[in-house]
């Protein structure tokens, strides 16, 4: 019971934190670009506004269009529940590991892509096709990054990975982990549609990937999809932080340790968000057909990481 409450709490934390993370990245980006920028809480207001609006649904759409937002949020929340957020002792390890998490994210993408195809508009199909291509090409990187982690820590379960890196800090500074971290970050950027793969704030349909898919959505459906996208970004950032740099995480479910873990994850998300904002200010969006090159780079990094884990074993 305690374990279930703990998982629910962690998941809720990720879900509630998600808009703030987006708002924070946007805020830092604005400051870096010399603008004042909206406050960190702006995405909450946007979500509330969108959620309260009426909807227009294309007459060519079917029930898939209406079901997709719920499938997306369901799959994303299920993925979020597997992530160890404040404590390395993660009871959800019993339900699934990193491969399950990747599959759940893919399930969300799957339904989003169907939702994009459903109204039969050119932009929706274009977005779906591109999003699925990028998602497919990211899979090998993720798998090899998981393998690298499993090779040093002996498991693919998220809590166990974080826990054993905590126990043996030497793992984290080895070449395997460092390379895998770089590969994972690139995969994360591709999976969440950030620059240089996709521009979340673009207004030009022809360059869109994720945004083109959801052009037909409005009102509460759009709010759910935007929220799910936020959770996806937050959970992947949390993963990057806690699997590769787990320090500060609690190792038990005791209250003081968990409180310290909470502070630690907020700090880590702050640093990662800063990195994301700096990156998005520095780089331009890649042409779509240059994206595979970036992904090939991250795949090579991951493969090198796995190879070096063999040699240092």
> Of 2, 36, 63, 255, which lies in the binding site for another protein, with binding defined by CB under 8 A?
63
CB of 134 to another protein, least distance (A): 9
CB of 282 to another protein, least distance (A): 26
Q: How far apart are CA 110 and CA 68, in angstroms?
A: 9
* Contact criterion met (CB below 8 Å) for 261 and 86: yes
Select the span of 70-78, 174-182, 192-200, 261-269 touching another protein (CB under 8 A).
70-78
Q: How far apart are CA 103 and CA 299, in angstroms?
A: 18
CB of 11 to another protein, least distance (A): 9
Select the span of 18-26, 89-97, 190-198, 273-281 touching another protein (CB under 8 A).
89-97
Nearer to another protein, 205 or 267 (CB): 205
Q: What are the Cα distances from residue 38, in Å, to 25, 44, 82, 267?
A: 11, 12, 32, 21
> Of 12, 37, 44, 123, which lies in the binding site for another protein, with binding defined by CB under 8 A?
123
**Within 218-257, which residues bind another protein (CB under 8 A)?**
219-221, 224
The angle at the Cα of 31, spanning 27 to 35, to the nearest 5 degrees, equals 100
Select the span of 126-134, 188-196, 247-255, 261-269 touching another protein (CB under 8 A).
126-134
**45 interacts with another protein by CB under 8 A:** no
Residue 87, beta-bridge partner list: 250
Q: What are the Cα distances from residue 185, in Å, to 98, 107, 150, 307?
A: 15, 21, 18, 19
CB of 280 to another protein, least distance (A): 23
CB half-sphere exposure, 29, CA atoms < 13 A = 21
- How remote is the C-alpha of 123 from its chain's centroid? 24
Q: How far apart are CA 185 and CA 169, in angstroms?
A: 20
**26 interacts with another protein by CB under 8 A:** no
- Which two tokens mark 162? 């974080």
> Of 154, 167, 169, 270, which lies in the binding site for another protein, with binding defined by CB under 8 A?
154
**Within 130-149, which residues bind another protein (CB under 8 A)?**
130, 132-133, 135-140, 142-144, 146-147
Q: How far apart are CA 286 and CA 271, in angstroms?
A: 24
**118 interacts with another protein by CB under 8 A:** yes
Number of residues lying near another protein (CB under 8 A)? 88
Residue 232, beta-bridge partner list: none
> Of 43, 69, 196, 230, which lies in the binding site for another protein, with binding defined by CB under 8 A?
69
Place of tokens 């990195």: 275
Q: Binding string, 191-210, against another protein, x = CB under 8 A? A: --------------x-----
Select the span of 18-26, 29-37, 99-107, 192-200 touching another protein (CB under 8 A).
99-107
């Amino acid at each position: 019971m305690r374990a279930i409450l703990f998982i629910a709490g962690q998941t809720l934390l990720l879900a509630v934190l998600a808009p703030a993370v987006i708002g924070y990245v946007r805020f830092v980006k604005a400051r870096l670009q010399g603008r004042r920028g909206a406050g960190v809480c702006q995405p909450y207001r946007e979500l509330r506004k969108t959620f309260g609006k009426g909807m227009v649904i294309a007459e060519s759409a079917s029930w898939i269009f209406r079901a997709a937002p719920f499938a997306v949020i369901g799959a994303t929340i299920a993925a979020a529940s597997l992530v160890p957020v404040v404590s390395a002792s993660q009871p959800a390890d019993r339900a699934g590991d990193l491969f399950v998490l990747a599959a759940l994210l893919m399930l969300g993408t799957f339904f989003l892509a169907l939702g994009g195809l459903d109204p039969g508009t050119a932009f929706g199909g274009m977005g779906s096709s591109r999003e699925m291509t990028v998602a497919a090409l990211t899979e090998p990187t993720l798998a090899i990054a998981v393998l690298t982690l499993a090779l040093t820590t002996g498991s693919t379960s998220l809590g166990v990975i974080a826990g054993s890196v905590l126990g043996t800090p030497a793992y984290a500074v080895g070449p395997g982990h460092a390379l895998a971290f770089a590969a994972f970050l690139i995969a994360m950027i591709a999976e969440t549609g950030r620059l240089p793969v996709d521009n979340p704030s673009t207004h030009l349909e022809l360059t869109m990937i994720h945004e083109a898919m959801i052009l037909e959505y409005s009102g509460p459906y759009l709010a759910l999809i935007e929220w799910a996208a936020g959770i996806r970004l937050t959970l992947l950032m949390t993963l990057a932080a806690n699997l590769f740099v787990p320090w500060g995480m609690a190792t038990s479910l005791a209250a003081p340790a968990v409180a310290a873990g909470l502070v630690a994850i907020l700090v880590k998300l702050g640093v990662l968000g800063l990195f994301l904002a700096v990156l998005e200010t520095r780089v331009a969006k890649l042409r779509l057909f240059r994206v595979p090159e970036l992904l090939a780079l991250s795949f090579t990094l991951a493969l090198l990481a796995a190879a070096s884990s063999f040699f240092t074993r």
